[in-house]
C-alpha cells in the first residue's frame, strides 16, 4: 500500500467515524406528529365541508404493540378507510364521528382517506 | 393538495424511513469497504473475459429450440393481451386491476431482479419480438425472401431506449400521480399506453428489424437486458452458456447512448424515492409558484414533477461525467469519450441496488396480490374466481420494518462493491500500470460513494 492510498484511507475512516458519531448519536424518535397520541387524549381529525382535514394531513405515530386510537369527524356522508389495516367505517348522512381503536400490528406507513373524496386525511406510522 | 406517488395507489403500505443509526453504519461501511477495495484489489483484469462454458447440448436444444421460442413468445403475447384487456374492460381501481400490478410490478421490477441473477429472462417472453419474428417468418413464407429493413442510424444508438425509459417512468409516477388524487395511474390509461407503445414498437421493428430494434431502441429489451448482463446465463451460437457473474456487463455499453440508459435508470428511481421525501418541499414550492401564475393545477403539478425528474437525470449524469473528467487527468488516460463509454457499465449494479432498495417491499407485497386475487379476478370487478383466490389479500406481516431496512441498506452496499469491482477491473485495461489504474479509481470511488450515500439518504428521508 503506498502512502497516498494510506492517507486517503485514513481520511475515509475519519469521515466514516464522524458520520457515525454525528448521525448515529441522535435520537431516532420522530415526534413531529401534528396530532398527539398521548394516553388519555384521543387525537381527532376534523374534516371541513370541502372534504379536507383541518390543519392538513394528520401525522400519527405509534410503536408496534401499542393501540392505534384516533377519531375522525366528517360533516357529510362518507366512508373513512384506513389502508393496510383495511378498516373502513361509514359516516352517516348529515355527518358524524368514527373511532379507530385497534392494535398496531403491522409496521410501516399507512394512510387513512375519505373514499368518496379520494382525500388523504391521516398518515399513520407504526414503528418497530 | 396532497402529493401521492404511484406506489401509494397500488400498495396500501409504505416503507418507514431508514433510521439514522443504520444510515450511519451503512455510510461508514461504504467508506471503509471502498478504502480496502482500493488498497487490496487485484492487479490483472478478471471480468473482461466472460469465461462462458456451454451447458449440455440437449439442454440448450430444449431451452433455445423453436418450440420453446414459440411457447415463450405466445405466453408473452397472451399476458400482454390479458393486461390490455383488463385495463380496458376491468375496474378502474388500480389495486384491483390485473393490468397495473402485472405491468408495473411483476414485469417492471421482476425482470430486472431475476435477470440480474439468471441472465436476460425477458428476451424469450418479449411479446413484441415474438410478433415481429412471427410476422417476418410469415413474410418469408409468402414472399420467398427476407423483409427489407433500413440500416439503423449508428449515432442514434440506445438513445430511443433511454428517452423511452424516462417516458415510462414519467407515465408511472408523474402522469399517474398528477392532480393529487390517490388513484394514481388508471388502468384504462395504462392499457391505452400499452397499445400505443405496441404500435410504435411494431412499426420500428418493421422499419429496422426485430433484433436490431430490440438491441437498441425497444425500451424494455434494452432495460431488462442491461440487468441481464449481470446474470450468470447467456446464449451464443445457439448454445446456452454459464458465464462469470457480472462479466457480460463489460461489453454492454459499447453502443452509443448506453450510458444514458443506466443514468436514466438511476435518475428515475432517485426521483421516485426523492419525491416522497427529499424533494417533497421543493416540489411543493415550485408547484405553488406555478399554480400562482394561474396555470391549470394538473398541468402545474406535471410540469413541476417533470422538471425535478429531468434535474435528477442531469444531476446523476453530471456526477458520472465529473468522475470521468477526473479520470482523464491521470497520465496515460484514453480519450474522454472512451472513458465515458468504458465505465458506463459500472453503474449497472448501482442502478440495480437503487431498484431493490426502493421497490423490494412493494414487489414482495404486491406479488401476493398478483398470484392471489388478481390472477383469479383479473378485471377486478368480482365476476370471476378462476383459481379460488379472488377473496385473498396481502399479508403485510411477512416483512418486518427491520427486514426491509437491512435488505435496502444491504442492496446499496453490495451494489457499491460490485460497481467498484467492475470499475477497478476496467481501469486495469486502460492503465496497465497498477498505480495509475488505482489513481484513476479515486475518481470513480468518489462517484460510487456519492451515489451510494445519496441512495442511503433518500431511504433515510423517504415517507418521513
Contacts of A13 in chain B (CB under 8 A): 31-32, 35
Report yes or no: B52 and B254 within 8 Å, Cβ to Cβ: no
Q: Residue A32 is inside which H or E element, if any?
A: none
In order of A117, B173, B266, B349, B453, the CA distances from B262 in angstroms are 39, 18, 6, 10, 18
The edge-to-edge listing of strands for the beta sheet with A44-46 is: A44-46, A67-74, A96-103
Angle, CA of B263, B412 and A106, to the nearest 5°: 115
Question: Nearest to residue B166, comparing CAs of B274, B257, B264, B256?
Answer: B264
* Spatial separation of the C-alpha atoms in residues B432 and B391, rounded to whole Å: 62
State the pLDDT confidence band at B8, using cuts at 50, 70 and 90.
very low
* Spatial separation of the C-alpha atoms in residues B279 and B287, rounded to whole Å: 12
Structure ipTM = 0.79
Probe site for chain B from A4, A16, A105 (most B CB atoms < 10 A): A16
Probe site for chain A from B28, B284, B395 (most A CB atoms < 10 A): B28
B residues 20-79 closer than 8 Å to A (CB): 20-21, 23-25, 27-29, 31-32, 34-36, 38-39
A residues 43-82 closer than 8 Å to B (CB): 57
Q: What is the pLDDT of residue B13?
A: 83
**What is the arithmetic mean of pLDDT over B396-401?**
92
In order of B12, B176, B186, the CA distances from A116 in angstroms are 17, 19, 16
Question: Nearest to residue B323, comparing CAs of B356, B358, B350?
Answer: B350
User: Would the CB atoms of A111 and B15 count as touching at under 8 Å?
Assistant: no
Q: What is the pLDDT of residue B184?
A: 61
> Which of B2, B20, B38 is opposite residue A5, by nearest beta carbon?
B38
Match 468504458 to its residue by C-alpha cell. Answer: B342
The beta strand positions in chain A, using DSSP E, are 44-46, 58-63, 67-74, 78-82, 87-91, 96-103, 108-114, 119-127
Q: What is the pLDDT of residue B31?
A: 76
Report yes or no: B353 and B455 within 8 Å, Cβ to Cβ: yes
State pLDDT tens for residues B141-185: 999 888 889 999 999 999 999 999 999 999 988 887 644 433 368
State pLDDT tens for residues A73-121: 999 999 999 999 989 999 999 999 999 999 999 999 999 999 888 888 9
Amino acid at each position: 500500500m503506498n502512502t497516498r492510498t494510506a492517507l486517503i484511507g485514513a481520511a475515509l475512516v475519519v469521515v466514516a467515524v464522524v458520520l457515525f458519531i454525528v448521525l448515529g448519536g441522535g435520537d431516532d424518535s420522530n415526534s413531529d406528529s401534528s396530532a398527539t397520541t398521548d394516553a388519555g387524549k384521543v387525537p381527532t381529525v376534523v374534516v371541513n365541508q370541502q372534504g379536507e382535514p383541518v390543519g392538513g394531513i394528520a401525522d400519527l405515530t405509534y410503536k408496534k404493540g401499542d393501540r392505534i386510537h384516533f377519531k375522525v369527524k366528517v360533516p357529510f356522508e362518507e366512508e373513512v378507510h384506513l389502508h393496510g389495516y383495511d378498516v373502513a367505517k361509514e359516516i352517516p348522512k348529515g355527518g358524524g364521528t368514527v373511532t379507530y381503536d385497534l392494535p398496531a400490528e403491522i409496521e410501516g406507513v399507512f394512510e387513512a382517506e375519505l373514499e368518496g373524496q379520494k382525500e388523504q386525511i391521516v398518515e399513520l406510522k407504526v414503528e418497530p | 393538495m396532497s402529493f401521492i406517488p404511484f406506489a401509494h395507489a397500488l400498495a396500501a403500505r409504505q416503507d418507514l424511513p431508514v433510521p439514522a443509526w443504520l444510515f450511519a453504519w451503512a455510510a461508514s461501511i461504504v467508506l471503509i469497504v471502498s478504502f480496502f477495495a482500493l488498497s487490496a484489489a487485484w492487479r490483472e483484469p478478471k471480468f473482461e473475459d466472460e469465461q462462458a462454458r456451454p451447458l449440455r447440448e440437449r439442454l440448450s436444444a430444449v431451452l433455445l429450440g423453436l418450440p420453446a421460442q414459440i411457447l415463450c413468445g405466445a405466453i408473452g403475447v397472451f399476458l400482454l393481451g390479458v393486461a390490455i384487456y383488463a385495463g380496458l374492460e376491468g375496474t378502474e381501481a388500480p389495486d384491483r386491476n390485473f393490468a397495473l400490478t402485472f405491468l408495473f410490478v411483476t414485469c417492471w421490477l421482476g425482470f430486472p431482479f431475476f435477470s440480474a441473477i439468471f441472465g436476460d429472462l425477458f428476451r424469450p417472453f418479449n411479446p413484441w419480438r415474438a410478433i415481429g419474428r412471427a410476422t417476418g417468418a410469415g413474410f418469408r413464407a409468402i414472399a420467398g425472401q427476407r423483409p427489407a429493413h433500413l440500416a439503423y442510424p449508428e449515432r442514434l444508438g440506445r438513445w430511443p431506449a433511454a428517452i423511452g425509459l424516462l417516458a415510462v417512468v414519467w407515465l408511472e409516477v408523474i402522469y399517474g400521480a398528477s392532480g393529487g388524487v390517490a388513484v394514481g395511474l388508471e388502468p384504462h390509461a395504462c392499457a391505452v399506453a400499452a397499445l400505443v407503445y405496441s404500435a410504435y414498437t411494431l412499426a420500428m421493428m418493421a422499419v429496422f428489424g426485430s433484433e436490431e430494434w430490440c438491441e437498441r431502441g425497444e425500451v424494455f429489451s434494452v432495460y431488462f437486458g442491461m440487468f441481464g448482463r449481470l446474470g450468470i446465463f447467456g446464449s451464443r451460437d445457439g448454445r446456452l452458456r454459464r458465464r462469470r457473474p457480472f462479466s457480460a456487463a463489460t461489453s454492454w455499453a459499447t453502443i452509443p447512448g448506453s450510458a444514458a440508459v443506466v443514468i436514466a435508470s438511476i435518475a428515475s428511481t432517485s426521483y421516485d424515492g426523492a419525491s416522497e421525501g427529499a424533494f417533497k418541499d421543493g416540489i411543493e414550492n415550485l408547484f405553488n409558484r406555478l399554480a400562482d401564475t394561474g396555470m391549470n393545477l394538473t398541468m402545474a403539478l406535471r410540469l413541476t414533477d417533470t422538471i425535478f425528474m429531468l434535474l435528477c437525470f442531469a444531476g446523476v449524469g453530471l456526477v458520472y461525467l465529473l468522475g470521468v473528467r477526473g479520470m482523464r487527468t491521470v497520465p496515460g488516460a484514453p480519450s474522454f469519450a472512451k472513458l465515458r463509454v468504458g465505465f458506463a457499465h459500472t453503474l449497472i449494479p448501482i442502478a440495480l441496488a437503487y431498484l431493490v432498495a426502493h421497490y423490494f417491499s412493494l414487489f414482495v407485497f404486491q406479488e401476493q396480490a398478483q398470484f392471489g386475487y388478481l390472477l383469479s379476478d383479473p378485471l377486478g370487478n368480482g365476476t370471476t374466481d378462476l383459481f379460488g383466490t379472488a377473496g385473498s389479500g396481502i399479508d403485510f406481516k411477512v416483512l418486518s420494518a427491520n427486514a426491509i431496512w437491512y435488505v435496502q441498506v444491504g442492496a446499496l452496499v453490495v451494489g457499491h462493491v460490485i460497481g467498484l469491482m467492475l470499475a477497478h477491473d476496467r481501469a486495469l485495461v486502460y492503465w496497465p500500470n497498477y498505480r495509475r489504474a488505482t489513481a484513476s479509481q479515486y475518481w470513480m470511488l468518489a462517484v460510487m460513494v456519492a451515489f451510494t450515500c445519496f441512495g442511503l439518504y433518500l431511504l433515510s428521508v423517504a415517507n418521513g
